[in-house]
Amino acid sequence: MNNSVHTVTGMTCGHCVSSVTEELTRIDGVRTVAVDLPTGKVTITSTTPVSLDDVRTAVAEAGYELAG
């Protein structure tokens, strides 16, 4: 399994977490997504490495953006 950690900006509530989680789990190979709302940290566990572009696109689809 592969783990990657990203920071998503703009999330303020449980609905935000659900939206980001839903979009990220649509990426091929993603098994779990864990979001820490207070810090914006998102941990993705996948069967294969997930590209940063795929993560950025999924987060944008949810209406947010990656920090940095």
Q: Give the CATH number, domain containing residue 10.
A: 3.30.70.100
Reported confidence tier of residue 5, pLDDT bands at 50, 70, 90? very high
Average pLDDT over residues 9-23: 97
The strand ranges marked E within 1-68 are 2-9, 30-36, 41-46, 65-66
Nearest CA-CA partner of 28 in 64, 60, 57, 62 = 57
The pLDDT assigned to 68 comes to 79
User: What total of structural domains would you count in the chain?
Assistant: 1
pTM, rounded to two decimals: 0.94
Tens of pLDDT, residues 23-43: 999 999 999 999 999 999 999
Range of the structural domain that residue 22 is part of: 2-66
